[in-house]
A and B are shown apart, each in its own frame.
Chain A
Amino acid sequence: MSRKFTPKVVTANDLLVGDVVYLTATNEWTRDHAKAELIEDEAHAQLRLLEGAGQKNIIVGAYLADARLGENGPEPVHFREVFRTRGPSNYAMGKQVGELPGPRS
C-alpha cells in the first residue's frame, strides 16, 4: 500500500535572482511560504508541479516540498525547507531580513 499523501507546496528558485519562491493558487510565484498554495491531494499536486515547472523562463528546479497549515498559512515541515524560508544562520541575510540576492542596497 502506498504511503498516505502529506500536504505539499510547489517550490523553486527564481531564474534571474536565484532566491526561493513558492507557487500560489493563482499561478503566481511568491517569496513568502505562507502565501503558497497548500496542496492536499496527490493528483492535484502532480498537476500543480507540472504547471509550476512549466514556467521555465521564470523559475528553476521546481519540486514538491512537505508543508502543513499553520496560523498564517502553510508552514514548512523539514528543516531544510525551514532554512529556505529564512536564509543562512551565520549572517542576517536573505529572506529573514527581507533581502534579495545581489548587492546590499
Chain B
Amino acid sequence: MYSYSDFDEAFVRSRVAQFSQQVSRRIDGSLTEDEFKPLRLMNGLYLQLHAYMLRVAIPYGTLSSRQMHQLAHIARTWDKGYGHFTTRQNIQYNWPVLGDVPAILSALADVEMHAIQTSGNCVRNVTSDHFAGAAADEIEDPRPYAELLRQWSTDHPEFQFLPRKFKIAITGSPNDRAVTKAHDIGLRMLRNAKGEIGFEVMVGGGLGRTPMIGQVVRDFLPVADLLPYTEAVLSVYNRLGRRDNKYKARIKITVHETGLEEIRRLVEERFAEIRPDFHGHDQVLLDDIRAAFAPPAFRNAPTDAHDQFYAADPVYRAWCDTNLTRHRNSEYAIVTISLKAQGKTPGDATADQMDLMADLAARLGHDELRISHEQNVILPHVHKSDLPALHAALSAAGLGTANVGLISDIIACPGMDYCALATARSIPVAQDIALRFDELKLEHEIGPLKLKISGCINACGHHHVGHIGILGLDRAGVENYQITLGGDGTETAVIGERAGPGFAYDEIVPAIERLVQAYLSLRTEETETFLQTYRRLGLPPFKAALYPAEGAQDAK
C-alpha cells in the first residue's frame, strides 16, 4: 500500500494545525460563520440536520487494518460508536462536536488519512474499482494512477475554485465496477492494437438533477499522458463552466452546451500547449507509487477446507455464492462483507465491527480492506482455506449476511435522517424493503437486482443507475417516492426511466413488492435477471404492476 512521503506527511500535519487554529478562532468569536464555513468545508466538516458531520476520504477505497482500527477508535472516542460508509468511498461521522474535530483530524493524520477536499468545488476523492489489484478480469491495478491523480489534485492551486465539484473514477477492468460513466471524468483502462495500456477517457457523466452518461472524449490515452490530459480537461472546464448558475455548473452541462466535438478540440489544444511542461517527473513518481502497490506474497496451500465446508454447510455455501468474487489467483477469493444485514442501516458499521474487520484483514487478508461505492467492505485477498474461519467470525458479529448483489444489498444515502439537503428519508425505506423480502424468503429466488435509494435530487444514492431506483421527494409537505426502472451503472450504463407518479411513504414497500412479483411472473427462466427482463419487455408490464387499474396510486 502507498505510504505517505515526507511531503504528504508535512502537508497533512500543517493543514491539521491550520484548521485547529481556525476552529479556535471560530469558537472565540474572531472568525464569523461566513468566514469559517468555507474553511471548515475545505476540511470536510459539514453542519447537518442534527449535528456536525465529518466526511473522511478513503482514497480509492483502500484501507490497511491499522487505518480501519483508527476509524473505529475515532467512532468510539469522539462519535457515537459507528460510522457510515458512503457511495464515494468516504466514511462519515454523524455526531462530532466542533471542539473535537482538530483531535479527530490529528488522529486521522496519525494513520495517513484526512478529510481534505471532501467538500467544496475542487477535485474530490478519486474513486476506483473496489476489487482493484485482485480481480481476475483486470488489465492493471488502477490505484497507482488514482494515487497519482490524488497527489496532483490535492491543493492544486488552479483547481481549488472550480465552477463546481469534480469527481474522477478509474477502473482497470473491462467490467466497470466503479460507475466511471457517471463521473465528471471516467477513466477505463484498455489495450490498443499494439498491446499497450492506456485509458478510454469519458467526460460529462453525472447523476443528480440532470443525469447524464459520460461521453468518450479520447479513445486511447497513453498512460504517460494522464496528468497533462486530465489537467487539460480541468482547465477547459475551469474556463467554460457556468459559474452563474449552480445547477448548470457541472462539466456535464458544459459538455452538453458546448458539444462534445468542440470540447474535444479545446481539450486537445490545451493538452498540446501544456504537454511539453511535463518532463517525466510524474512518470518517475508513478514508478515509485506502482512499487507501493505490488501484490502481496500470495500463499500456496491446499483449499480443501473450503471445498469441504462448501459441500457440507448450506449457510456457508449461500454466503460463498453471493459474497465471493473470482480472484486472479485461483487459490484466493475476493470477499465482500455485507454492511446490509436486513433491517440495518446500509453502509453503517459499529466501532466493534470495524475492529473485527481490521483484525480479520490483518490475520487472514494480507492486511488490506476496501470500501465499495455500494457501501460494503471488501477483503480483496483471502486464501480459500481461510474462508470458513472468516465466515464464522463475521457471522458471530452480524457481518455474515449472504446478500451481495441481491435486492437487500441496497445503496441508500443518509437521507433526511441526517442530511440537511435531503427532501425525504432513505434509510427506513431501505430497511423496510430489505426486511419485507427477507420475510418473503424471496431474495435468492429473485437473484441479481440493484436497488438504489436517494433522499433528494442530488442522487448520492445513485438511484438513476439502479435496476430499481427510488427518489424521495417532498411533495406538498409529505414524503413522496418516485420509482425509476432499468438503470445500469456498469460498462453498459443507462439512466433509468421514470415509471410514473410517486408513492407515499407507506405505499413504497408494497409498490416495490408488486414490481418484483411482476418480474418473477414475467421472466422466461430463473436465470433471466430483472434487468434483462426489463430490457426485453420495457416499461409497460412493470408500470401495470405498479399502477393497477383500480384506485389511483398517486399520493396526492
Contacts and interface: CB of A to CB of B under 8 A. Distances in A.
B97 A16 contact: yes
Given A79-B477, A89-B427, A90-B431, A103 B79 contact: yes
Interface string B75-102: 0111111000000000000111111100
A78 interface: yes
Nearest to A80: B416
B427 A84 contact: no
A16 B27 contact: yes
Interface in A10-31: 13, 15-20
A87 interface: yes
Contact of B50 (A79, A84, A104): A84
Interface in B44-86: 47-52, 76-81
Contacts of B100: 102
Given A79-B478, A104-B81, A60 B33 contact: yes
Contacts of A103: 76-81
A89 B479 CA distance: 14
B81 A83 contact: no
Contacts of B425: 83, 89
A60 B345 contact: no
Given A89-B417, A90-B417, A19 B51 contact: yes
Contacts of B49: 20, 80, 83-84
Given A60-B47, A88-B50, A90-B417, A104 B80 contact: yes
Given A16-B98, A90-B428, A83 B51 contact: no
Contacts of A57: 29
Given A88-B417, A90-B417, A101 B96 contact: yes
A102 B427 contact: no
Chain A interface SS verdict (over half): loop
Interface residues of A, number: 30
Among A13, A16, A60, A101, the most chain B Cβ lie within 10 Å of the Cβ of A101
Given A56-B33, A89-B427, A90-B417, A18 B479 contact: no
A94 interface: yes
A78 B477 contact: yes
Q: Which of B80, B100, B418 has the most CB of A within 10 A?
A: B80
A61 B96 contact: no
A61 B47 contact: yes
Nearest to A88: B417
B80 A17 contact: no
Contact of B97 (A20, A90, A95, A102): A102
A18 B79 contact: no
Contacts of A101: 50-52, 95-97
B85 to A, nearest CB: 15
Interface string B436-470: 00000000000000000000000000000000000
A57 B31 CA distance: 9
A84 B416 CA distance: 9
B89 to A, nearest CB: 21
B3 interface: no
B32 interface: yes
Interface string A93-105: 1110000111110
A19 B81 CA distance: 18
B345 to A, nearest CB: 5
A83 B417 contact: yes
Contact of B47 (A18, A91, A93, A94): A18
Interface of A: 13, 15-20, 56-57, 60-61, 77-80, 83-84, 87-91, 93-95, 100-104
Query: What are the 5 tightest A-B residue pairs by CB atom distance, in nearest-first order?
Result: A101-B51, A88-B417, A18-B51, A18-B52, A102-B97
Interface of B: 26-27, 29, 32-33, 47-52, 76-81, 94-100, 345, 348, 416-418, 425, 427-428, 431, 474, 477-479
8 contacts: A79-B416, A80-B474, A88-B427, A94-B51, A101-B50, A102-B79, A102-B96, A104-B80
